[in-house]
């Protein structure tokens, strides 16, 4: 992420939440490249070709803006943005999987060559399994799910996650390792 003064961004977040349009415009200019970098990273991690990076940023922004959320600082803002992007990508994957199910058995040139019922692509299936794993992890160990999402999807460092969650760096490291192990067991 780019190095913008966190205090400036935090002040702009507060002003924008109070309805200051000029602060909102300035905030958008300051974090837009960070949001695009975050969206690009998320799309690459899940090999999503259903929505482009700019579209993902704009849809996530709309989702966050409509929610009327309050943000404590830049890390909190980026974490919420990452979560919004993740949900959008998962929804797209579910739509894609549903469309493939609808088309199973349809006699097309493609299905005649490759056979029908070949199911969703591994990246869609993997994303949906990961989401199920994260939901399960959240139900049993919410902090582990938070740590995983903040590092993997939001791209925050262990130190940033520790600050955001008010825990030690060492705890974040342990939680990160444990979350990855638990998710790996779920995915296998």
How far, CA to CA in Å, does 51 sit from each of 54, 55, 89, 95?
8, 6, 8, 12
Strand (E) or helix (H) holding 70: none
User: Of residues 181 and 107, which shows the higher confidence score?
Assistant: 181
How many Å apart are CA 155 and CA 1, to the nearest integer?
8
- Cα–Cα–Cα angle for 85, 87, 90, rounded to 5 degrees: 110
pTM for the model:
0.63
Whether the CB-CB separation of 89 and 51 falls below 8 Å is answered with: yes
How many Å apart are CA 71 and CA 80, to the nearest integer?
9
Q: Is 90 helix (H, G, I), strand (E, B) or coil?
A: helix
pLDDT tens figures, 32-63: 888 888 888 777 766 556 678 888 888 888 88
The domain locations on the chain are: 6-187
**Least confidently predicted of 88-92, 122-126, 137-141:** 122-126
């Amino acid at each position: 992420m780019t190095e913008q003064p966190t205090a400036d961004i935090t002040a702009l977040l507060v002003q924008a939440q109070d309805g200051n349009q000029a602060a909102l415009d300035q905030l958008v200019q300051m974090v837009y490249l960070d949001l695009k970098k975050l969206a690009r990273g998320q799309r690459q991690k899940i090999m999503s070709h259903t929505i482009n990076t700019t579209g993902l940023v704009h849809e996530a922004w709309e989702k966050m803006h409509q929610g009327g959320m309050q943000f404590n600082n830049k890390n909190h803002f980026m974490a919420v943005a990452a979560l919004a992007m993740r949900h959008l990508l998962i929804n797209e994957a579910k739509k894609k999987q549903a469309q493939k199910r609808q088309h199973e058995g349809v006699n097309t040139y493609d299905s005649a060559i490759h056979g029908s019922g070949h199911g969703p692509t591994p990246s869609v299936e993997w994303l949906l399994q990961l989401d199920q794993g994260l939901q399960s992890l959240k139900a049993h160990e919410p902090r582990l799910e938070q740590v995983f999402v903040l590092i993997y999807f939001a791209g925050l460092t262990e130190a940033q996650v520790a600050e955001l969650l008010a825990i030690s760096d060492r705890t974040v490291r342990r939680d990160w390792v444990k979350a990855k192990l638990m998710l790996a067991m779920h995915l296998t």
